[in-house]
Structure 1
Amino acid sequence: MEGITTFKADYLPYDIVKRPFQVQEEYKPKMGEIELGTTYQKDYNAHKIQPVTLVRPLERKHTTRGKLDTIPTYQDDYRSWEVQRREPSKLEHIYHPPTEKFGNSTTFQDDFVPRELNPRPSFKPPCVAKLSDVPFESATSHRASYVAHPLEPKFVRAKEEYKPSNQPFEDLTTHRNDFRGLPGQLAKSCKPENAQVGSNAHFNGVTEFQARFQPWSVSLPEVRKTKEYVPPAGNMDLNSTSHLHYVKHEISPAVPIRPVSNRRRTNAPFQGNTTTKEDFKAWGSCRQEIIKKQQEIPKPTGKFSDLTTFKSHYIPHQIIPAQSCKPVHAIVPNAAAFQDETTYHTEYTPKKQEICPANYPSPPGYVYLNTDSRGHKFFCQLTPEIAKSNTSLVPKEVAVVS
C-alpha cells in the first residue's frame, strides 16, 4: 500500500516572505506654551466666610441638696387585701342510662337558656358635623404680617463668543510619546517539516524491552515456623471476683406510680346496638351483565377463500447470493518442529505425597509418650541421626489426635 494521501499529493509548499518592519518616526515637540487657564478660574469670585455661630443654648445644671426618696408610688400606695376563694357554681348531675333511643339531652341543651338579644348602648359620640352661625374669618397671620418686596432684575451673563485656537491640534498621546518599538526577530515556527519517512531496512524482532531487560534470580521468601502449642498444667479456675463476692438480695416488686382512676362504674349492661346496625340494612347485589354493542357489519356466510393480498400479488425472484470478501482460511504448513518446552515442563520436579501420621494406629518413626484429658496422644519423632547415635538428646514432641 502506498503511503501517499490526497493532502500529500495535492499540497504545494510555497515560499514564506518575512513581514516588513515599519520604523516609527521620532517624536518632535511643537513650539509654544500651553495656556492652563480654565473657565472656573476666570469666572469664580472668592467671598469672605465668617465662622458659624452655635444656636445651641447654654447648658444649665440643676443641683439639689435634698435627699432622694427611692420609694415608688406603687409600693407606697398599694395595699394588698385577702381574696376569698370563689365557690364553684357547677350543678351535680348524676348520669342515668337512657330508656329510649337518643332520649338523653346534651349538655348544651341542658345548660343553654335562650334569651333575647339586648344590644349594648354605644358610648361613641355621633359622627355629625356641628354647624356654626359665626361667619368665617379669612384673615391669617401670613396675610396680616406678609410684606411684599419688589424683586431685583435678574442678572443675565452675556454669552462669550467662541474663538478657535491659532495653534494646530497635537494628536500625540502618552502611548505614542513614551512607547518606542524595539526591532526584534520574528517568532520561529516549531512545526516539524513535512518530510516523508521511509526506510527499506529489515525490521529486527528485538524490542527495546527485550534488549534492556535482563532477568534476575529471585530468592524464595523464608517460611516462619510457628511455635508448638504447650497446654498449661493443672485445672482452670472458672470462679470470677463477681461470682465469689456477690451477695444476693431479696427485691420486692416495683409499685406502679400511675394515679388511681376516678371513673364511675355502672352495673348497667352494655348496649351493643349502634346506629349503623339498626338503620343500615344490607341489600342483595347481583353482578351486572356485560354490555355488548350490536354488530354493524354482518358476518360472512360463504366459504372462506384462503387467499391473501400477499399471496395473490407476490412474484418470486431468484436469489443471487452475495459474494464473500472474507479471505480463505488456509493453513500454511511449516516444516519446522514444534517447540513444546515450557518453563513448567522443564523446571517442575514432582514431590512425594506424604501420609499424615494420624492415619496409623501406631505411626512409624514415632514413640508413644502419654495421653491428655482431652484424648490427645503425644508421640516422639525418632530421626535417623538419633537412632544411629545413642545419645541423651531430648526428642521432639508431636501431638497426634486419634
Structure 2
Amino acid sequence: MLEATYHSLEDLAEAIGVALSAPITIEDRNHRLLAYSTHTADTDPARIATIIGRRVPESVIDQLWKDEVIQNLAAQDEPLIISARTGVGLNDRVAIAIKQDTEILGYIWSIARSTPFSETELSDFKKGALLAQRQLLAIDMQKKRQEEKTEQFFFELLHEDMPESEILKTFSKLHVAPPGISRLMVIRFSEAITPRLADRLRYLLTIQQTVRPLLYAYDETDFILWISTNDQDAHHERLQFDAFIQSFRQMLAERFNYTNFISASSEVFTGVQSIPERYEETGIVLRLKDAFPFELSTVTRYERLGLFQLLPIFSERLRRRTVRLEEIERLRSYDEKHAASLCETLEWFLHYDGNVKQVASHLHVHPNTILYRMRRIEEEAGIRMESLPERALLYLYLKADRYPL
C-alpha cells in the first residue's frame, strides 16, 4: 500500500516496485530517466539501456510511436498493458502517463510479471502516477526557468559578438559542454510557433540521439538551434547532420502532422565565436530558398548553395548599377517587344547545363522550340557561352533580379 507522500522520486519508484513486485522506472515527458527501482535478474535490454543512458533509447521510442503506444498513453488515465516488442529489447510492460489535466508530465513503466497484476496493484500503479504529479510539476517549473535563461543567452549570442571567455563561462553555468564542430540551424514554419508546437519541437529534439543540441530558442516562426556532432571529421559531420534533418522532418510529419516548413543551416564551424555571422548564413539560405524554391528545394546547408552564395553580393552590385550585361539587357528588350521568353529559356538552359530535353521538359515545350530559341539568343545578343566563367556570369545576372535584398 502506497503512502500519501514521498521525499523523492527514487523513494516513490522503490515503493511502487515493492507494491507491484516488479521493476519500475519514472521518466519525464521527453523519456529521460528520473528514477528507477531495484530490479531483478529478469529485466530486459531496454530497461538496462535506459538506466545506463539515463534516457529511453531512440529505437524504443520510435517503435512505441509507430505502434501508437505513446498516443494511447496520452489518451487515457488508466494503466495500459503493453505487449513485448522484442525487436527493440522491450518485454511485456504496464505503463501510465503522469498528467496535469491533459498535459503529459511524464510516465511510469513497469516490467510485467509472469502473473497478471491484480486490480489492487493496478490501483496502486495509478495512485503512484498521482503521487508523482506534484514532484514532476516542480521539476517542470524548474526546467522552464532554466530554459528561459538559456534562451535569453542564446538570443544575445545570435545578435552580438561576445568574447570567447564569456561564452564558455556562461556555458559552464548552464551546464552545456562546449562543441566540437557545429552548425546553427533554423526551422521556419509558415505560421507563428505556438506553445504546443514549441513543446513538440523540444520533445523531438530531446529524444533524437543523432546530434547534440547545445542551445535553442524560438522567434515567431523560427525554431533556432545550435547543434554539434562532436565529430572532427567533416564528412561524418555532414552525414550525421543530413540524417538529423531527414529524421526530424519525418518525425514532425508522421507524429504531429507538421509539413509546412523549411530548414536552413550555416556553414560548419568550430569554437564558439562569430555566431552572428553564422546566424546570418542561415538567413541567406532561407531567403534564397524562398526566392528559388525549385532550384534549392533539396538544399539545407549553406556550403551547398554553390554559385547562389554569390547572389547577395551580386544583387547589391546590380541594384547600384555597378555591374551591367548588355547582352542580357538586349534579350530583355527583345522579350518585351515580341512577348517572347528568351531570357527564361537561357536561364534554364544554363541551369540544366545545356541539356535540351531537360529544358524543354521544364518549360513544357518541344525540344526543337528550345533549339530555335537558342539560335535567336545567339543572333539577338551575341551570346555563345564558350567558357564556364561566361556561363556563370550570365546565370548570376539572370537570377539576381529574384533575390530579395
- Indicate whether the TM-score tops 0.5: no
Higher strand share: 2
Higher helix share: 2
Question: TM-score band (shorter)?
Answer: under 0.3
TM-score under structure 1 normalisation? 0.13
TM-score under structure 2 normalisation? 0.13
Higher relative contact order (CA 8 A, sep 6+): 2
